[in-house]
Amino acid sequence: SQKIEQNSEALNIQEGKTATLTCNYTNYSPAYLQWYRQDPGRGPVFLLLIRENEKEKRKERLKVTFDTTLKQSLFHITASQPADSATYLCAVERSGGYQKVTFGTGTKLQVIP
Amino acid sequence: GAGVSQSPSNKVTEKGKDVELRCDPISGHTALYWYRQSLGQGLEFLIYFQGNSAPDKSGLPSDRFSAERTGGSVSTLTIQRTQQEDSAVYLCASSLGGQVQTQYFGPGTRLLVL
């Protein structure tokens, strides 16, 4: 089964800096990987999806990279704002031809004004 | 537009009682998932429905847990003879179906077993 590792410790950064979150996976190479944001007391909200044949994906201040050799995805938030403070979850496709994903435990980001 | 809704939002029950949690997916979404999230933990997959196919129940932790989806829409997760370790947030998500789709989550049901 797929195992997902995200930084278990909270990440604190200064407003305006770039936040970088890491997602590492083991076992087979997934066809795609997703990033979600979760605020306290709410369900996760989809942010970005990147496929195995894509090296990088961008959406406004967000950037995701996917390195299938390292079995790693990096999630960047540029010009971070206090409103970006949340827990960010990585979700990795579990098996070919199927839309089940395995979620990581998430990394809590705190952007300090 | 209407998103995924779940009810109740909070449920407190006594150990040994049965509980039913409800999920209303987004209209037209053929795929539906149930997850469990314990405090400070990641999402634990429970069960997956896709159209009229047999559900994938591989994540259900014990035979006390069951789920059904009626008419390809509303789903109910039932926990029988609840235990204190069942206390968690139960999240439902739906998606359009197909090979790669975004999951849309509901707000969750917070279950506390005393």
At A1 the pLDDT is: 66
* Minimum-distance CB partner of B48 among A44, A100, A103: A100
pLDDT given for residue A94 in this prediction: 72
Residues of B in contact with A89 (CB under 8 A): 42-43
Q: A40, A5, A4: which is closest to B39 by C-alpha?
A: A40
Neighbours of B65 (CB within 10 A): 18
Report the gap between the CA of A26 and the closest CA in chain B (Å).
17
Cβ of A46 within 8 Å of Cβ of B99? The answer is no
Separation between Cα atoms, residue B69 and residue A107, nearest integer Å = 33
CB distance A103–B108 less than 8 Å?
no
pLDDT at B63: 96
CB A102 within 8 A of CB B45: yes
Query: By CA distance, what is B101's nearest residue in A?
Result: A99
Confidence class for position A21, pLDDT limits 50, 70, 90: very high
- CB spacing of B105 vs A43 below 8 angstroms: yes
Quote the Cα angle for A19-A25-A26, to 5°. Answer: 160
Tell how far CA B50 is from the center of its chain: 14
Question: Residue B97 and residue A102: Cβ atoms within 8 Å?
Answer: no
> Which residue has better confidence, A4 or B79?
B79
Q: Are the Cβ atoms of B100 and A99 closer than 8 angstroms?
A: yes
When pLDDT is cut at 50, 70 and 90, the band that residue B8 belongs to is very high
| pLDDT single digits (tens) A71-113 | 999 999 999 999 999 999 999 887 654 567 889 989 999 999 9
For the cut 90, the answer to whether the pLDDT of residue A3 exceeds it is no
* Residue A98 or A47, more confident: A47
Average pLDDT over residues B60-89: 95
* pLDDT tens profile B91-103: 999 998 776 778 9
The percentage of chain B sitting over the pLDDT mark of 90, rounded to a whole number, equals 75
Q: Which residues contact A105 (CB under 8 A, 6 or more apart)?
A: A4, A6, A8, A89, B41, B42
Return the higher-pLDDT residue of A68 and A65.
A65
pLDDT at B40: 74
Collapsing DSSP to helix, strand or coil, A75 comes out as strand
Distance of alpha carbon B66 from the chain centroid = 10
How many Cβ pairs closer than 8 A exist between chain A and B?
A: 54
Inter-chain residue contact B42 with A100, CB threshold 8 Å: no
Question: Taking a C-beta distance cutoff of 8 angstroms, is the pair B76, B66 a contact?
Answer: no
| pLDDT higher than threshold 90 for residue B82 | yes
Task: Please give the pLDDT value at position B41.
Answer: 79
Checking if the pLDDT of A8 tops 80, the result is no
φ/ψ region of B103 (left if φ > 0, alpha if ψ in -120 to 50, else beta) reads beta
Q: What pLDDT score does A52 carry?
A: 87
List the single residue in A31, A46, A102 with the smallest CB-CB distance to B103. Answer: A46
Q: Which residues of B touch A (CB under 8 A)?
A: 4, 31, 33, 35, 41-43, 45, 48, 50, 56, 91, 93, 95, 97-108
- Put residue B38 in one of left, alpha, beta given phi > 0 → left and psi -120 to 50 → alpha: beta
Residue A14 scores a pLDDT above 90 = yes
